[in-house]
Structure 1
Amino acid sequence: MATAYSEISPTQLMRLIGTPEAPVLIDVLSDDDFTLDPRLIPSARRHHPDQILHLLPELAGRRVVVICQKGKKLSHGAAALLRNHGIAAEVLAGGNWAWRDAGLPLVPVASLPQPHSGGLWVTRHRPKIDRIACPWLIRRFVDPKAQFLFVPPAEVTAVAEKFNATPFDIENTFWSHRGPSCSFDVMMTEFGLTTPALSRLAAVIRAADTNKPELAPQAAGLLALSVGLSRQYKNDIDQLEAAMPLYDAFYRWARDAHDEGHDWPAVKN
């Protein structure tokens, strides 16, 4: 599909999602169209087109991609409005239908905790692997504005109820281990994010989190780095922020370089 200067193709956009360079994705589908297929492109959030200018303060300096059903009037009109106010806004070529037809992942809205944007999650303090990997997945693919609370294990359930937060990686909750699957596996599946790259990354996380290094040789490195970060940072939020680039790098390995090796001396042609 040829794209206009103000458009980005589904393939190009998928290469950006999950990375620190990902644009802000704004879904402007009509309610009727969205009801027909209530799923979102990963990290997108819904806004009515006539409310689009209310987002200007938070979009300043950001790259934006606007999405509608077919990539026509709603998304082009909203993107043009944003460009009039200095926002670098593009349209997803072909819209949601082109994304769907390309077989790219879509997140079922029914799986998303409320609110869909800026949601609050809570888990046990002093995280190591799963409790860092899950926030990375949520922020990169589900809710870039998500907030995370780290509290003593005995207080997770009460904090979740008191602050309307979603508990995760704690026993007897929805977002937690299921059989051999760790919480990251569960989120990847429930959010419709079972891509080859994330599945490859999930295997490493599962191996490190469940002490089964035989499942993935990279698990030993992830475990060492995770334990090191937990010792380096006393504040769990500082640890999470420091670990985000680590998981960004693991994701790029899983997506683009999982079959690449390294040796010494270098082979000379």
Structure 2
Amino acid sequence: MAAPNEITVSQLLRLIGTPDAPAIVDVCIDADFGDDPYLIPGSIRHPHTDISGLISAHSGRACIIVCQKGRKLSQGVAAWLRSDGIDARYLQGGMLAWRDRAEAPRVPATTVPPRVGSGTLWVTRHRPRIDRIACPWLIRRFVDPQARVLFVAPADVEDVAERFGAVPFDVQGAFWSHRGDGCTFDTMLDEFALHTPPLDRMARIIRAADTSRQDRAPEAAGLFALSIGLSRQYRDDQHQLEAGLAIYDALFRWARDRQGETHGWPAGRGA
């Protein structure tokens, strides 16, 4: 019988990428992590010895604790957090079980920028439309839920990045930008090793909408229209980003679960 405070790889896979995903905390010891330096998407590293720090960081938020095998470290930390009133579970089988699941993506730890304060810090051009909303969505849902994005004048992106230790993206000449026929969203899927069927479906649409090749994906015209409308609706870039995240949340759920669904009239004729 499954323990009441454990979660399986299949169950966690269904949560990752959604706005209600729990915090994922990797407590693998340094030696184990050094032998296999990959992260479950959206997870953060935290030493199992710093229980008080975990309690402070996750009080009021559900979390999943992950160690190498899903045994003493993750079970002990999860049990300790639960004794403090935190909804904590451990991953059954740990990182080894996640690694053995072919469809479970793993983010190379070396690709995740160092944190500036509580999370990674990114900077791009102001007045975002498509790529500059899609990329923050991908980062927050699959790389760092605490990521902060700064929107500044195009001419000042590089200087802001240098002064504040931010990572520039979707600007010409930056590492995190367009490459060949792809857009910055494609680059991030490549570098973060996040090529999964749902995200690849999204990438096809985002690429077509962002590069004015809407004939390559019928859904791209709709995404383009929504993105332009959103940019006209909000004067504040941060407010626009928060509203735009909901669009990409919905697009992800369609790409993952319902891309084959149709809608017809009269009612009942759609699949």
Q: Is this a same-fold pair by TM over 0.5?
A: yes
The answer to whether the aligner puts 1:254 opposite 2:255 as a matched pair is yes
Distance 2:54 2:92 in 1: 22
Secondary structure of the 1:127 match is coil
Distance 2:74 2:18 in 1: 23
> Which region of structure 1 is more displaced relative to structure 2, 220-229 or 107-116?
107-116
Supply the AA of the counterpart residue of 1:248.
D
Distance 1:129 1:166 in 2: 18
Quote the residue 1:108 is aligned against.
108
Supply the AA of the counterpart residue of 1:32.
A
Check the 8 A contact 1:3/1:9 in 2, yes or no: no
Gaps of 5+ in 2: none
Matches within 5 A, 1:9-48: 9-48=8-47
Quote the residue 1:166 is aligned against.
167
How far the C-alpha of 1:154 sits from its partner, in A, is 0.4
Secondary structure of the 2:157 match is helix
Secondary structure of the 1:122 match is strand
Check the 8 A contact 2:209/2:221 in 1, yes or no: yes
Supply the AA of the counterpart residue of 1:3.
A
How far the C-alpha of 1:54 sits from its partner, in A, is 1.2
CA RMSD in angstroms, aligned pairs only: 1.3
How far the C-alpha of 1:20 sits from its partner, in A, is 1.0
Quote the residue 2:4 is aligned against.
5
How far the C-alpha of 1:105 sits from its partner, in A, is 0.4
> Which region of structure 1 is more displaced relative to structure 2, 213-222 or 86-95?
213-222
Distance 1:189 1:63 in 2: 30
1:219-240 superposed Cα distances (whole Å, 9 cap, x missing partner) = 1111111001100000100000
Check the 8 A contact 1:138/1:146 in 2, yes or no: yes
Quote the residue 2:195 is aligned against.
194
Quote the residue 2:206 is aligned against.
205
The answer to whether the aligner puts 1:149 opposite 2:150 as a matched pair is yes
Check the 8 A contact 2:82/2:88 in 1, yes or no: yes
Secondary structure of the 2:182 match is coil
How far the C-alpha of 1:53 sits from its partner, in A, is 2.2
How far the C-alpha of 1:206 sits from its partner, in A, is 0.4
Secondary structure of the 2:170 match is coil
Give the TM-score of the pair, scaled to structure 2: 0.96
Supply the AA of the counterpart residue of 2:171.
I
Check the 8 A contact 2:263/2:269 in 1, yes or no: no
Gaps of 5+ in 1: none
Supply the AA of the counterpart residue of 1:112.
V
Question: Percent same amino acid among aligned pairs?
Answer: 57
Check the 8 A contact 1:65/1:91 in 2, yes or no: yes
Secondary structure of the 1:4 match is coil
Check the 8 A contact 2:27/2:47 in 1, yes or no: yes
Aligned residues: 268
Give the TM-score of the pair, scaled to structure 1: 0.97
Quote the residue 2:94 is aligned against.
95
Supply the AA of the counterpart residue of 2:230.
L
Secondary structure of the 1:197 match is helix
Supply the AA of the counterpart residue of 1:214.
D
Secondary structure of the 1:91 match is strand
Matches within 5 A, 1:41-56: 41-56=40-55
Distance 1:120 1:69 in 2: 28
1:71-94 superposed Cα distances (whole Å, 9 cap, x missing partner) = 000000000110010000000000
How far the C-alpha of 1:211 sits from its partner, in A, is 0.7
1:226-257 superposed Cα distances (whole Å, 9 cap, x missing partner) = 00110000010000001111110000000000
Supply the AA of the counterpart residue of 1:95.
G
Supply the AA of the counterpart residue of 1:87.
I
Distance 2:20 2:29 in 1: 28
